[in-house]
Amino acid sequence: MIDFHKKNPSVKQREECFINGIREYKHNLFRIAKSILHHDAEAEDAVSETICKAYSRLDSLRSLESFKPWVMKILINECYAAAKRRSRIEYWPQVENACLEDRNIAIQAGVEDSRGSGSELRAAVSLLDQEFRTVVILFYYEDLSIKDISKVLSLPQGTVKSRLARAKQKLKVLLEIEKGFEGKGEMNDGSF
């Protein structure tokens, strides 16, 4: 890999670094897009658009160390724009309710099918509001620092910290509720 601090790296060297960076973080980008948009096709579109936008703005990247937060900021902005465009579309209530029911069934099935494998936590994270879910995913799943998340989301560091703290509280409640249901189900199965 090339250091972007080097004076006048060639276009080919910058492109090579860009390609390597995208290859390294492609799964991370998709995971973040999916967590915001909830649909594979929309997430794939957002990632593709992000790659195009990032490539066209490659000259604005100053150092290789900031590649991950830089490209994630572009992705998150693209996802928010896609979500905003989607919200302008008028859905029929029956279709929207069916989608919500399918999502809840999928989440419940994921939790029931693989207890102890971390899917309970993933299901709980997916139930968080978008502002909390995004911060949790960037911090815990993508290993970004508070400072980098602050840059990516254009938020003060204090706001990022408070959202993380509130998200942890909400996750604790959600997981306790889930364990409460588990315990009741197991007790009822054995007593009847």
pLDDT at 12: 83
Residues 6 or more apart whose CB falls under 8 angstroms from that of 47 comprise: 26, 29, 30, 33, 75
pLDDT at 184: 52
Domain that holds residue 116: 92-192
* 137 and 79 in a common domain: no
Q: What separation in angstroms does the CA of 12 have from each of 6, 8, 116, 159, 176? A: 14, 11, 47, 39, 53
Q: What separation in angstroms does the CA of 110 have from each of 44, 100, 113, 114, 124? A: 22, 15, 5, 6, 11
pLDDT at 182: 57
- pLDDT under 50 in the chain at which residues? 1-5, 90-99, 102-117, 185-192
* 121 and 53 in a common domain: no
* 84 and 111 in a common domain: no
Q: How far apart are CA 96 and CA 87, in angstroms?
A: 12
Is the whole model's pTM more than 0.75, yes or no?
A: no
* 185 and 117 in a common domain: yes
* 108 and 185 in a common domain: yes
pLDDT at 162: 95
Q: What separation in angstroms does the CA of 73 have from each of 1, 32, 82, 102, 115? A: 22, 11, 14, 30, 33
Check: CB of residue 144 under 8 Å from CB of residue 152. yes
pLDDT at 7: 56
Total structural domains within the chain: 2
* 97 and 79 in a common domain: no
Check: CB of residue 68 under 8 Å from CB of residue 29. no
DSSP string for residues in 52-111? HHHHHTGGG---GGGHHHHHHHHHHHHHHHHHHHHHTSPPPHHHHHHHHHHHHHHHHHHH
Check: CB of residue 37 under 8 Å from CB of residue 46. yes
What is the distance, to the nearest Å, from the Cα of residue 91 to the centroid of all Cα atoms in its chain? 24
Picking from 89, 113, 148, the residue at the C-terminal end of a domain is 89
* 191 and 101 in a common domain: yes
